[in-house]
Structure 1
Amino acid sequence: MATVSLSSPAGKWIMVSAILASAMAFIDGTALNVVLPALQQSLNAKGADLFWILNAYLLMLASLILIGGSLGDKLGRKKIFTAGIFIFIAGSALCGLSPGVFYLIIFRIIQGIGGALMIPGSLSLISSSIDVKERGKAIGTWSAITTVVTMGGPVLGGALADAGLWRYIFFINVPIGIAALLILWRKVAESRDDGADQSIDFPGAISIALGLALLTFGFLRMPAVGLNNWQVYGSLAAGLLLLAAFIYIERTSKHPMMPLSLFNNQTFSGINLLTFFLYAGLGGGMLFMSLNMVQVQGYSQLQSGLTFLPFTVLMISIARYAGSIADKKGPRLLLIIGPALAGVGLLILSFIKQTAGPADYWTSFFPGVLVFGFGMSLTVAPLTATVMGSVSDHFSGTASGINNAMTRIANVFANAIFGALAVLFFSGAMQGDLKKMPLSEKNKKAVTEQAANLGNAKVPDGINGPDRKAIETAYHNSFILAYSNIMRICAGLAFLGASMSVAFIRNSAVKKE
């Protein structure tokens, strides 16, 4: 198909529509982390409910995003992108109107279906429509702007949550989505791979969706029923079998939704492994940092959101330059240094204990956020350009879908596994403190049951005086211990991501502008 210049009116409208839709989805993700404490109180949600609210969306996104990328290449990128935006804003409006936790989880599933069609479409539309000489610059611009807007999500979420308006995190998507739809309708031409096979890989789609769903369900049930329960090991085993079946189906299918031949390129394989490990660390780190600030350290939700501003400033200042350097010198070195620095930042954040609240921010959270933000600023644009530059143009939607799937799968597993681990760490620390307290077995059991609520754990009714104060202190200390352990695991994942760049990524495998 014919391509257009980035500086042409058509090129600018393509960029605006892609950035608006992507930003809508990414803001929703980061802002929701900050409003979770307000949402938990408003809907009387348990700790496990919070992880389901996060993962209902991420699960559908991870399960179906490969289908979204593949459908765009085959049936028309604008058509599938438009359908995804429409479903996403419908789901968002329903989320904002949710009367309770159950309905919110159901409507988050609808959001996830829309996101799966929408998110790979944005990058695919850019890669297939913008002239090849300007494609690197376009992807770098998309990466920088969407990441900056994404990191503004916590500030927006904090302000709305403190004002008692957490539902507007969902409502705000409606006008943004409508603007993107109008631009696509009036200003953007259709784009499809005319040589693509029009057949759809239904067996592959069903196996990957069910496999990921069962794995996530197993991890989320673990804190409530234990590892030896049939619901846990049965779900995990069935999920792994279905993922193995997905690989077999893709290897033997005449119309695979994920052509395994793409992974013959070790740079493409390496960049997706880097994405998985880094974004698992990023997702877990940001979630538990937000919960720590609000539920334990005494920050308001707006103050918690503002703590990410240094991250945003660094992205504005550095991300586009990092993309330009990667275009000229190759992305490999940046993709080693960036994730390693992000890991150092997460490690610094893991050593934070009880603080005096926002007054201690500059000497507690700020140094870690600064190093973490600098590392991510060096990584985001080169990572995206490497994904899109390591495959041929007619696989742009599929490549974008695979890499976005890695990001969402990483977030799903991070939330599920870290949620289970946090409860285990929290409960283990509480058991040690409870042995020292003169409480009845009934009261000890009631205190322990609150572990599922993590930082929002409340002292059971009927316990007063010095015991009440001791239990509150134990809850805080137990959460801080769990937080520290999770942040160190997240740092380890970032370092593992950097090692993927060392082992697999080669500059020679990435197309230049």
Structure 2
Amino acid sequence: MTDDARPPVCAPRNRRWMLAAAILASALGFIDGTVVAIALPAIRESLNASLAQAQWINNAYMLPLSALILAGGALGDRFGLVRVFGAGIAVFLLGSAATALAPTPEAMIAARALKGAGAAAMVPGSLALVARAYPRAERGRAIGLWAAASALTTAGGPVIGGLILSAGGEWTWRLVFALNLPLGAIALWLLHSKAEPDPGRPEAPVDWPGAVLATLGLFALAWGLTRPGQWPVSAAGIGIFALFLLWQARAPAPMMPLDLFRSRAFAAANGLTFALYFALSTMIFFVPMALIGGWGVSEAAASVAFAPLALCVGAFSGLAGRVADRIGPAPPILAGALTVAAGYAAFAATAPAAEFWTRSLPALALTGLGMSMLVAPLSTAVMISVPDARAGAASGVNNAVTRMAGLIAVAAMGGVAAARYHAAGGPASFGTESAAAGHMAASTAALATLAWIAAALAALAAPIAWLGLRAGGAAAQASSSASQ
């Protein structure tokens, strides 16, 4: 059943309030995904957390979000979008409160997992709420406002968090997470007071076995990658994920329909997504740790590192999307991937100078420009690679691939950073503050290694785009045109 065939979630006079609730909820998810990297050095010092525990403070959130985000959409269909979306916000807020009060790394990891479970219902519900609130003729503008607000909150959230962290003592990282509570409370109030009853569809299937297998497989894989010598656990995770894929091939209502990957363009687009977002997640997670812990950059300054990314994506994605509509997605994705690779390479090459404002930030701004060239065309490539009737499923799978890339990147690259840090003579731990001789140089060596890896992955995306999307995208567009 399409969104137009489902009853609206609110009266016409309340549409703007549903849009506000969706924006607030998406802001919670986007800000939380970026501000934690800025807060981690303070969290590690306050809770005496190791690098592996810091990785799991991030991955405990990303794991349920990666594994369950597709199931979250199905839950909204079955039990009612407003009900599931509201429950997701409530669980997210409970996790936020527990995160702000966490006394130990283990308690914080558990709280972050709770937040991730809430986000798995909240994140897909945010855009779905906008689609259900507005008729098709007005939906494009509403989604544009939602996307623009998401970009601004993604850029502004970490900056505000960095200012808070710089202004207070070591306890102020708790306030950063507590700020979620009033925003989420307003979103819940808007839902409760402005939304119409949404009974859902009890006959809508939910792939419970798939959700369990995906969660177990990704957990074991990430656990093994973050623990030295635990390769058998990672191998078990790969085996469980293989069982997940087998189940998806046979399940009556799979959460990740594998037949979509028969499209060469769809497979290429998701390969691009994994490589590019693996690289981006590596930089977003580890760069602030090295800047704050290794270079002595303030949290406020470090929070500016990725503001150009969000601002460029917000400013130029519309233009890039129009270019993709005109000439196809492959050329702008190719140009964007090469620009991103150049930005990461420039960051790696200039890292030994440890000059954030004059060398590192311009390199990251170049990366932001490159991402703005490819984000919208990549979405276009996903959408035109499958029939229109399956565009929603294709978008959901691509969203899940993005989250999985971030999860695996943080799990895998932590070991690389630690190994390079100690090989360079590091006396402490990567990402922590230390006055010991050699700490800054070792932190920089580890950071440069991660940036070179990110540059290589972005460069790898360029030929994938050119070879995988040119023929596949053209075929998809021809098929779409023939069907009209």
TM-score range, shorter chain: 0.7 to 0.9
Per-residue deviation, residues 445-473 of structure 1 (Å, max 9, x unmatched): xx5xx3xx2142657xxxxxxxxxxxx33
Query: Pairwise mapping of residues 298-447 of structure 1 onto structure 2 (< 5 A)?
Result: 298-327=296-325, 329-355=327-353, 360-387=355-382, 398-430=393-425, 447=427
Identify which of 453, 466, 476 aligns with 1:509.
476
Partner of 2:180: 173
Matched AA of 1:181:
L
Matched AA of 2:124:
P
Greater mean alpha carbon deviation, residues 379-388 or residues 491-500: 379-388
Structure 2 contact 45–432 (Cα < 8 Å) conserved? no
Matched AA of 2:280:
L
Say which structure, 1 or 2, has more relative contact order (CA 8 Å, 6+ apart). Answer: 1
Query: Pairwise mapping of residues 197-346 of structure 1 onto structure 2 (< 5 A)?
Result: 198-222=204-228, 226=229, 232-327=230-325, 329-346=327-344
Q: Report how far residue 214 of structure 1 moved.
A: 0.3
- Provide the C-alpha distance between the structure 1 equivalents of 2:390 and 2:80, rounded to a whole number of angstroms: 13
Distance 1:491 1:137, change over 3 A: farther
Q: Report how far residue 292 of structure 1 moved.
A: 2.2
Structure 1 contact 310–369 (Cα < 8 Å) conserved? yes
Identify which of 89, 99, 105 aligns with 2:103.
99
Larger Rg: 1 or 2?
1
Per-residue deviation, residues 238-262 of structure 1 (Å, max 9, x unmatched): 1111111111111111122222223
Distance 1:142 1:276, change over 3 A: farther
Structure 2 contact 421–443 (Cα < 8 Å) conserved? yes
Partner of 1:123: 127
Distance 1:312 1:203, change over 3 A: closer
Per-residue deviation, residues 179-205 of structure 1 (Å, max 9, x unmatched): 2223333334577996x9523222211
Q: Report how far residue 312 of structure 1 moved.
A: 4.0
Greater mean alpha carbon deviation, residues 34-43 or residues 287-296: 287-296
Distance 1:415 1:180, change over 3 A: same
- Provide the C-alpha distance between the structure 2 equivalents of 1:132 and 1:499, rounded to a whole number of angstroms: 37
Matched AA of 2:399:
N
Secondary structure of the corresponding residue to residue 438 of structure 2 = helix
Tell me the percent identity: 36
Partner of 1:229: none
**Are positions 1:62 and 2:60 aligned together?**
no
**Are positions 1:490 and 2:454 aligned together?**
yes
Structure 1 contact 349–487 (Cα < 8 Å) conserved? yes
- Provide the C-alpha distance between the structure 1 equivalents of 2:294 and 2:56, rounded to a whole number of angstroms: 22
Per-residue deviation, residues 463-484 of structure 1 (Å, max 9, x unmatched): xxxxxxxxx3322222211111
Identify which of 156, 159, 164 aligns with 2:163.
159
Per-residue deviation, residues 26-50 of structure 1 (Å, max 9, x unmatched): 1011111111111111112122221
- Provide the C-alpha distance between the structure 2 equivalents of 1:45 and 1:330, rounded to a whole number of angstroms: 47
Matched AA of 2:76:
G
Distance 1:57 1:76, change over 3 A: same
Matched AA of 2:262:
N
Per-residue deviation, residues 213-252 of structure 1 (Å, max 9, x unmatched): 0000000112xxx3xxxxx122112111111111111111
Matched AA of 2:193:
R
Greater mean alpha carbon deviation, residues 368-377 or residues 394-403: 394-403
Q: Report how far residue 410 of structure 1 moved.
A: 0.9
Distance 1:354 1:233, change over 3 A: closer
- With normalisation by structure 2, the TM-score equals 0.87
- Provide the C-alpha distance between the structure 2 equivalents of 1:129 and 1:393, rounded to a whole number of angstroms: 21
Q: Report how far residue 308 of structure 1 moved.
A: 3.3
Distance 1:128 1:334, change over 3 A: farther
The number of aligned residues is 468
Matched AA of 1:292:
A
Distance 1:340 1:139, change over 3 A: farther
- Provide the C-alpha distance between the structure 1 equivalents of 2:175 and 2:474, rounded to a whole number of angstroms: 44
- Provide the C-alpha distance between the structure 2 equivalents of 1:262 and 1:314, rounded to a whole number of angstroms: 31
Per-residue deviation, residues 324-357 of structure 1 (Å, max 9, x unmatched): 444555433322222321221111111123446x
Structure 1 contact 88–114 (Cα < 8 Å) conserved? yes
Greater mean alpha carbon deviation, residues 94-103 or residues 251-260: 251-260
Identify which of 453, 456, 476 aligns with 2:432.
456
Matched AA of 2:177:
F
Q: Report how far residue 299 of structure 1 moved.
A: 1.1
Matched AA of 1:311:
L
Structure 1 contact 336–502 (Cα < 8 Å) conserved? yes
- Provide the C-alpha distance between the structure 2 equivalents of 1:144 and 1:508, rounded to a whole number of angstroms: 31
Distance 1:17 1:261, change over 3 A: farther
Q: Aligned-residue CA RMSD in angstroms?
A: 2.9
Matched AA of 1:218:
G
- Provide the C-alpha distance between the structure 2 equivalents of 1:321 and 1:219, rounded to a whole number of angstroms: 39
Structure 2 contact 31–153 (Cα < 8 Å) conserved? yes
Unaligned runs of at least 5 residues, structure 1? 227-231, 432-446, 460-471
Unaligned runs of at least 5 residues, structure 2? none
Per-residue deviation, residues 364-411 of structure 1 (Å, max 9, x unmatched): 113202211111222333434554565567656644432222122111
Identify which of 22, 28, 31 aligns with 2:26.
22
Structure 1 contact 201–255 (Cα < 8 Å) conserved? yes
Q: Report how far residue 509 of structure 1 moved.
A: 3.4
Per-residue deviation, residues 64-112 of structure 1 (Å, max 9, x unmatched): 1121122223433333222211111111111111112111111101001
- With normalisation by structure 1, the TM-score equals 0.83
Identify which of 58, 77, 101 aligns with 1:73.
77
Structure 2 contact 292–433 (Cα < 8 Å) conserved? no
Structure 1 contact 148–315 (Cα < 8 Å) conserved? no
Distance 1:343 1:127, change over 3 A: farther
- Provide the C-alpha distance between the structure 2 equivalents of 1:500 and 1:337, rounded to a whole number of angstroms: 12
Distance 1:207 1:318, change over 3 A: same
